[in-house]
Structure 1
Amino acid sequence: MQLYNKLSAEERAKLIDEAGKDRITISFYQYHKIENPQLFRDKLFLEWDQLEVLGRTYVSYEGINAQISVPSENFLSLKEQLDSISFLNGIRLNVAVEHDNKSFLKLKVKVRNKIVADGLNDETFDVTNKGVHLNAKEFNEMLANPNTVCVDMRNHYESEIGHFDGAITPDVDTFRDSLDIIEEDLKDNKEDKNLLMYCTGGIRCEKASAYYKHKGFKNVFQLEGGIIEYTRQVNAEGIENKFLGKNFVFDHRRAEKISDDVIANCHQCGKSCDSHTNCANEACHLLFIQCDECAEQMENTCSVECQEIIRLPFEKQKELRKGTHASNKIFKKGRSEKLKFQKGNTCS
């Protein structure tokens, strides 16, 4: 019985090309008490593997958080499988704005302590006492209210390439970092302002809204389904789009274009640009914004040092990587002294 992915990304990409099937990228989440996350995880992997599902899913005692892709022809079968699970019956599936058959190349279903790393002690407040959910039209109306403070609950590298017009975009590396900072910044407006929050698909706001109500905020609102569902409603119903730029996504696409606005710049030359890349030096792999010209000149690396490394023989590169761990660079996304025009850099 196979319970783990056994194919490399390259092997999977080849199979996707050979199959010639269009795939749909979707995401969903649900907070629900799961008694045996490992058993539930194994069940999902076995059933999804049969449906050719790929993607990244976290399961915990508090629920599930999934970002996956599935062949279009298997979408209804996946929906039936989810509906057969009581707490996922009728779950809203956020369908991607832009599709890419290779948005995911492996099926990973992992058991975690939490489905979102929020750093909160859930025993200290009522996580079910959430804020008021708003659809796209209601969100636009609340956004236009002068008594509203709109806050982006995502990280700096996400909001840098796209955010709602007039939103506060905290300069943070992680979701947990933003919670206390936002509370401190808005402490004088807990009772007299509308706190309006949004994130990619809605999951971060689910917990954050309950937390802020616990902290004394009286009027707490959140965008139902996040930016993904907002965009779907805008397109389907002809609603005015208030989102500027791209929506950052956590798969191989890296972003979905929501409007024609380009609000970011290349981290190397400062040119208007909103395309993320990972440094070609595997020992670095830093995520940063790079224009086509810099990508060609720098060979898809973030610095001269990394460019010199990728020119070395492969075996020499592997030798240099031994004993090193680059995750601190990877997850500091865009935070490097080598990037002259990174967000917040006074050189820009």
Structure 2
Amino acid sequence: MQLYNTLSAKEREILIEEAGKDRLTISFYKYAHIGNPQILRNHLFIQWNDLEVLGRIYVANEGINAQLSVPADNFEAFKTHLDSIVFLENVRLNIAREQDNKSFLKLKVKVRHKIVADGLNDATFDVTNKGIHVNAEKFNELIEDPDTVLVDMRNHYESEIGHFKNAVTPDVDTFRDSLDIIEADLKDHKEDKKLVMYCTGGIRCEKASAYYRHKGFKQVYQLEGGIIEYARQVENQKLENKFFGKNFVFDHRRGERISSDIISNCHQCGEACDTHVNCANEACHLLFIQCESCAEKMNTCCSNECKEIHALPFEEQKKLRKGKGASNKIFKKGRSEALKYKK
């Protein structure tokens, strides 16, 4: 039995268009002790492939992290299957506010060392000893408290386009980088300050809250369900929205608008803009913010050099890439000397 994709993204895109079915973009995570991640991985692939699930799912000994899309008419069957797995029964599902039938074009279920790359190797660190989960209403109260320190646990390119009022937004490339920076900055306030954290869907805060409790912080809170669930509760309960801008998401949409505020700028001309693109030069693929005018002028490239390469015939581009490793720009999202207006 095949346990991998047989269709290209383009072929899948055509099938989605021909099917004409609405799809739901969903994310969820769960920390749990999984004895054999490979067996679970294979089971999920077989079951979800039959349900036409597409997405990116990581399975590890410490749990599962899933971002996916499923045909709306298969949602109940998908939920039933999740509930049949003991540690996933009634798991919270974050359903995207802005749907896109092409948010994912392949099903990738991968076994990883960890479901969030944190670089932590402390055997005494218990990820299940987490902080206090709070809903949107309580979160709004906490972040107005003068004894609260609100921290964005996401990376620089995520918080650049949207963040909460008065949040500390570390200028970091990775989740691991932020852990030590925040601990160092707050080392004198482990007992007297409320440490309140948020992220996209909650998974990074879950790990971070347990880590900071392990490091001696006494009052640790996290936003339940992250920004995705916060936006849903704010809308449904008519609460005050304290998030400005867009929420960066890890699929083809790249962002969901939470408020009308545009707090970032085009990295090439400086105009107000919060639209992320990937450089069209496949050898670069840099993620950066580009307005429509610059996208037209630069042919969706980050620099004149990339624009020239992208204009070459495809076979010539392949020859230029031959024997070279992937550009490290793909790991340095939004960081390049070519981006004049990167904050």
Shorter-chain TM-score range: over 0.9
Residue by residue, what CA displacement relative to the aligned partner does 1:70-105 show, whole Å, maximum 9, x if unpaired? Answer: 000000000000000000001110000110000000
Alignment TM-score, normalising by the size of structure 2: 0.99
CA contact (8 A) 1:285 1:326 kept: no
CA–CA distance in structure 1, aligned partners of residues 51 and 131 of structure 2: 36
Aligned partner of 1:127 in structure 2 is 127
Task: Tell me what 2:75 maps to.
Answer: 75
1:32-71 matches, within 5 Å, as 32-71=32-71
Structure 2 CA distance for aligned equivalents of residues 244 and 229 of structure 1: 15
2:223 partner amino acid: L
Alignment of 1:194-273 (within 5 A): 194-273=194-273
Aligned to 1:315: 315
Paired letter, 1:119? G
8 Å CA contact retained: 2:142, 2:148:
yes
State the distance in 1 between where 2:201 and 2:3 align: 28
Instruction: Give matches, 1:286-305, under 5 Å.
Output: 286-305=286-305
SS at match of 1:144: coil
Alpha-carbon shift at residue 122 of structure 1 (Å): 4.6
Return the offset for 1:150: 0.1
1:176-187 equivalences in 2 (<5 Å): 176-187=176-187
CA deviation after TM superposition for structure 1 residue 327, in Å: 4.6
Q: How many angstroms apart in 1 are the aligned matches of 2:214 and 2:83?
A: 33
Contact 2:161 2:274 in 1 (8 A): yes
Alignment-mate amino acid for residue 70 of structure 1: V
Question: What letter matches 2:162 in structure 1?
Answer: G
Which structure 2 segments of 5+ residues have no match?
none
Aligned to 1:346: none
Contact preservation (8 Å) 2:198, 2:223: yes
Q: Distance in 2 between matches of 1:124 and 1:324?
A: 41
What is the rounded CA distance, in whole Å, between the counterparts of 2:178 and 2:215 in structure 1? 14
Residue by residue over 1:160-182, the C-alpha shift from the partner in whole angstroms, topping out at 9 and shown as x without a partner, is: 00000110000000001100011
- Give the drift of 1:126: 2.3
Distance in 1, matches of 2:245 and 2:46, equals 38
Partner SS for 1:90? coil
8 Å contact kept, 1:55–1:108 = yes
**SS class of match (1:56):** strand
Q: Deviations over 1:183-223 (max 9, x none)?
A: 01111111111100000000001111011111111111000
Partner of 1:150 in structure 2? 150
- Output the CA distance in 1 between the equivalents of 2:225 and 2:178: 20
Q: In structure 2, what is the Cα distance between the partners aligned to 1:203 and 1:96?
A: 16
Alignment partners' CA distance in 1, 2:313 and 2:78:
45
CA RMSD, 1 decimal: 0.7
Ranges of 4+ aligned residues in structure 1 off by more than 3 Å: none
Identity percentage of aligned residues: 73
The one-letter amino acid paired with 1:240 is E
Is the Cα–Cα contact under 8 Å of residues 154 and 175 in structure 2 kept in the other structure?
yes
**Residues 283 and 327, structure 2, Cα contact 8 Å, conserved in 1:** no
Report the alpha carbon displacement of residue 325 of structure 1 after superposing the two structures with TM.
Answer: 2.1
